[in-house]
Structure 1
Amino acid sequence: MTEFAWLALGGFILLAYTLEAITGFGGTLVALSLGALLLPIHDLLPVLVPLNILMSGALAWHHRRLVQWRLLLFTVLPGMLVGTLVGYGLRPWLEDSAMRLGFGVLILCVALRELLRGAPSGRAPAWMIRLQTGAAGISHGLFASGGPLLVHALAGSALDKSRLRATLLCVWFGLNSLLTLAFLADGSLAPALPRVAAYAPLLILGVPAGEYLHKRLAEAHFRTAIHLLLGLCGVLLCCRAQAFG
């Protein structure tokens, strides 16, 4: 059963990082949501985070001219960095059942909100953006999945989808590099490296497919499908956490 779960994770990774190549976020969230139905979150993160470094680093470099550096350096990274450190510090205190339940509730709330909300009503106050960015960082430290909360915080930034994607990819490359160093320090990275190497070739398929679809297909349709999938995963994760907690 365990080997089947790791094999299934390969399919989840291919789907998830194709979607992230389209939108600039959500790859780790989708892979972790689906993978957590079969495997412990603590085992998944040291595999998924280094894979995301490879994908986000390659795409961020390719689209570096589109990165909004002022927004990245002065608005996004400070709050995300502090929040990520706080979230990572909380991980050892949480059991896997609590992680599943918390993560399930988080992605269910995000999915429902994104499915129900209309167009952004305007730019939020600066203090609200910083608060939401910090919350996104905590989510990233806990689950390596701060994308939906960060995108919500930047909803009024008036960036087109290509500039927003390029800027988000730089965020994930920086923060996931930091998390990978933390996994190296706590000893969880080394056992995961063979699986990282085994899954890495999937990015060669997923990234070009995502690039192709990013240019040609309506992003809104993909986001709707992603959030429907995440909503289902959130329900299943909450039920699993209650059953085995």
Structure 2
Amino acid sequence: MQEFLFLLVVLIGNTVESMTGFAGTLLAMPASVLLIGVDEAKTVLNVMALICCLWIALRHRKHINGKEFRKITGYMFLGMIAGVVIYDTLPSAFLLKIYAVLIIAIALKKMFVKKNVTLPGLLLIVTILGAGVIHGMFLSGGSLLVIYAVMVLRDKSEFRATLAAVWAVLDFFLFLNQARLGHVNSDTLPLILIALVPLALGIALGNRLHHKINQNHFLLVTYILLFISGVSLLVK
């Protein structure tokens, strides 16, 4: 039953990831930790996200904004290194609660405060670095990165493809680190192989939903996912 529930979580998470280009791992992480354990959840979900995002990036590479891809990946990679160090030195539970409250506030503002505020360039860079830090700590930097991405990637296809390319690169390096730490082993490899089935179904379903939803609905879904992500982290 636990494995079945985990596969259902993988299906839902990758449907979201394929549809929006972010938030799949963040939404799937809390339930997966409870079902299979922390290290196992991080390893399996990272591989699923890597495959999903790589598929999106390659299939829709014409929609990737090369300039923003390079900028986001560079700053996030630096932040990710810092995030790994911070996670090893500070209480993760405390950091997670702060992050959860932050993204809940952001989501509520985006949903209910219609006035657009343009952040200065330096603050946008800090936001990308912060997203990298969070991704290095919790594999869930997407919610913070959206603050920047929605300002520079206006088209939903460009938004999804560019973020998917970013995650594919970053998750590949996280996978190498997980393999180095011995987390890719006889316990996680069978789960990875079994999870390929709901992964494929999630990609197909998310791709169909992406083409059917309009721009305004897409942004609303994005902000709702931010809110859900924050709540899931807060109650974890």
Taking structure 1 as the reference length, the TM-score comes to: 0.85
Percent identity over the alignment is 24
In the other structure, the counterpart of 1:240 is none
Q: In the alignment, what sits opposite 1:106?
A: 99
Correspondence for 2:203 among 176, 198, 207: 207
Give the paired residue count: 230
2: CA distance, partners of 1:42 / 1:28: 14
Equivalent residues in 2 for 1:185-200, closer than 5 Å: 185-190=180-185, 191-200=187-196
Checking the alignment, whether the CA contact within 8 Å between 2:99 and 2:230 is kept in structure 1 is: no
Instruction: For 1:171-190, list aligned pairs within 5 A.
Output: 171-190=166-185
Q: Deviations 1:78-110 (Å, cap 9, x if unpaired)?
A: 11011111212334446xxx4355334423431
Q: 2:58 aligns with which of 35, 57, 61?
A: 61
Matched, 1:18 2:11: no
Cα distance change on mapping 1:116 and 1:178 into 2, 3 Å: same
Aligned to 1:76: 72
Deviates more, 1:101-110 or 1:170-179: 101-110
Long gaps (5+) in structure 1? 238-245
1:123–1:157 CA contact under 8 A, matched in 2: no
Q: Aligned equivalents of 1:131 and 1:155: distance in 2?
A: 16
Aligned ranges 1:1-245 → 2 under 5 Å? 4-73=1-70, 75-93=71-89, 98-117=91-110, 118-119=113-114, 121-190=116-185, 191-217=187-213, 218-237=217-236
CA distance in 1, matches of 2:56, 2:172: 15
1:127 CA displacement: 1.3
Matched position secondary structure for 2:92 = helix
CA contact (8 A) 1:37 1:236 kept: no
> 1: distance between equivalents of 2:227 and 2:126?
26
Is the 1:18–1:210 Cα contact (8 Å) retained in structure 2?
yes
1:204–1:106 Cα change, 3 Å: same
Deviations 1:22-60 (A, max 9, x none): 111001110113323445433311111111111001111
Kindly provide the amino acid, as one letter, of the partner of residue 126 in structure 1: G
Q: 1:70 to 1:16 in 2, by over 3 A?
A: same
User: Aligned Cα RMSD in Å?
Assistant: 2.2
CA distance in 2, matches of 1:70, 1:220: 22
Structure 2 gaps of 5+ residues are none
In 1, the alpha carbon distance for the partners of 2:229 and 2:118 equals 26
